[in-house]
Amino acid sequence: MRKKTIAVILGASLTAGVLGLGAGGAFAGDKAGTTGVTGTTTTEVAAPRPPKGARAVVQVSPNPTARRGEEVTITGHCGGGKKLNAVFSGFSGRPVLKNIRIIDDNPDGFVAKATLSREIGNGVGPVFVDCGGEAGVTLLVTHV
């Protein structure tokens, strides 16, 4: 069951990424323009912005080489949110991170520390941040 759930999450993430790339391509024609005397066409494609409420950005380091019991650093920015309020992790009721400590809650560049649970195995676990109006998520790859 656990591998099946991970496969569903990864499949959904990959599908969202592919759809996002397709959407970016659809907008490329809207921003294309002709410049200069020779008629050179330039195309600028801007990455679509995440929806309001999901604009926080989070990274975990080290990743993907995190091991059981190892301390990791969670960094990022709140994407317009007020400040880092909380860091959550877990999968099927099991925490991925323990002893989570917010070091700096600055919305322009937050820092938190945590320890990988000793009960986890090889796999992928989500790490969520709550920035008071904006949220973010990343995947943490773990190794035994």
Say if CB 67 and CB 116 are below 8 A apart.
yes
Q: Name the helix (H) or strand (E) containing 103.
A: strand 97-104
Q: Is the previous residue joined to 64 through a cis bond, with omega within 30 degrees of 0?
A: yes
Q: How far is CA 101 from the centre of its chain?
A: 19
Q: What is the pLDDT of residue 90?
A: 85
Query: What mean pLDDT, rounded, does the chain reach?
Result: 77
Percentage of the chain with pLDDT > 70?
Answer: 69
pTM: 0.67
pLDDT given for residue 44 in this prediction: 67
Q: Which contiguous run of DSSP H or E holds residue 124? A: strand 123-130
The residue ranking higher by pLDDT, 25 or 52, is: 52
Q: What is the per-residue pLDDT for 38?
A: 53
pLDDT in tens, 40-83: 555 667 888 888 999 999 999 999 877 888 999 999 999 999 99
Residue 124: which of 6, 14, 2, 5 has the closest Cα? 6
Between 23 and 117, name the one with better pLDDT: 117
Instruction: Give me 2's structure tokens.
Output: 């656990």
Q: If we measure between CA atoms, which residue out of 2, 142, 1, 144 comes closest to residue 72?
A: 142
pLDDT at 68: 87
